[in-house]
Structure 1
Amino acid sequence: MKGEPDFDADEAMLIDSEGAVLGRLASTLASESLDGEKIVIVNTENIVVSGEKSEVVDDYRGKVERSVDRGPFHPRRPEGVANRAVRGMLPYKKQRGKDALSRVRFYVGVPAEYDDEDFEKPDKVLDDIGRGGYVTLGEISEKIGANVTW
């Protein structure tokens, strides 16, 4: 039903992804979900991808533009991009991987049903990427043509 949370806050791991590095977060989420953990990730638009901003955006734009007619289709919104990164680290064509992916939920911002909850911060955040640039998934999504509603 609409208005009810996907996962009960007591049974799910709640993560605020502000400043988390995409690849490191995705690998952690993949292994946790394979172990049977239910995971809710909020503020997906603030996950960062390390690298020179223009190169990262061009890479994602190229993926989206190549997939226009027949596929493979690449997401444009931040929660879709993050979900695709986690999916790439799972055996998603097997039942075990499908079940693991169904235990992970991404949200832009914080949904009303999780407003009062305490969120964990990921271990590897922006401070750990060293020199070089970074860009957030929100910025990438804006540049590749997502419908910006956040």
Structure 2
Amino acid sequence: MMVIDADNAVYGRLSTFVAKKLLEGEEVTILNADKVVVTGSRDFIINRFRERREIGSVRKGPYYPKTSREILRRSIGDMLPKKKTRGKEALHRCKVYSGFPEAFKGAQVVRVEKAMNRKVNGFVTLGEISRLLGQKV
């Protein structure tokens, strides 16, 4: 089982890393999904997530999530072959938490160096995005 601290990790890079690990058969748990970073212009990013949220209808979908942990889990799921059995099983092995639960205080936590954000400005966290999308606290 791999426990990943997603604090200051870039959204897409982290998602691809986790998707590959899941397809290899590993069980992955991601902590601090609120602190995952989406790089780019703040206004562009927020508008893009709002547009995704507004696509479709209430009855038919697609249903785009509001919470940071569900947004991250969906991006990982989009990188897996969900229509095939191995993709569905891989997504079941993925657990995402928005904070740092007490159960993982003593666990061996890994940071994905390839996915770390090195920018000082020009990014938005998933926590901010989810609050702007209307996440209930």
TM-score by length of 2: 0.93
Tell me the residue number matched to 2:15: 26
1:118: Cα distance to partner? Answer: 2.7
1:45 to 34, 38, 59: 34
1:68 Cα deviation from its structure 2 partner:
4.1
SS at match of 1:19: coil
**Other-structure match for 1:105:** 95
The answer to whether 1:140 aligns with 2:123 is no
SS in 2 for 1:79: helix
Following the alignment from structure 2 to structure 1, what is the Cα–Cα distance between the partners of residues 35 and 15?
A: 14
1:75/1:81 contact within 8 Å kept: yes
Instruction: Give the whole-Å Cα distance in 2 for the aligned partners of 1:112 and 1:93.
Output: 35
C-alpha distance after superposition, 1:15-59 (max 9, x if no partner) = 100000010000010010000000110000000111111110111
Q: Per the alignment, in what secondary structure is the counterpart of residue 105 of structure 1?
A: strand
Distance in 2, matches of 1:131 and 1:110, equals: 24
TM-score (ref. length: structure 1): 0.85
One of 7, 15, 25 as aligned partner of 2:4? 15
Percent identical pairs in the alignment equals 35
Q: Does 1:60 align with 2:55?
A: no
Closer, same or farther: CA 68–138 of 1 in aligned 2, 3 Å:
farther
Aligned with 2:110: secondary structure?
A: coil
After superposition, give the CA deviation of every residue in 1:58-99 in whole Å (9 maximum; x if it has no partner): 111111122442211000000100001101110011111001
Task: Map residues 121-132 of structure 1 onto 2, 5 A cutoff.
Answer: 121-123=111-113, 124-127=115-118
Q: Which runs of 4+ in 1 moved over 2 A?
A: none
The amino acid that maps onto 1:22 is Y
CA separation in 2, counterparts of 1:25 and 1:109? 16
Q: Does 1:77 align with 2:67?
A: yes
> What is the CA deviation profile of residues 101-122 of structure 1, one whole-angstrom value per residue up to 9, with x for unaligned ones?
1111100111121122231111
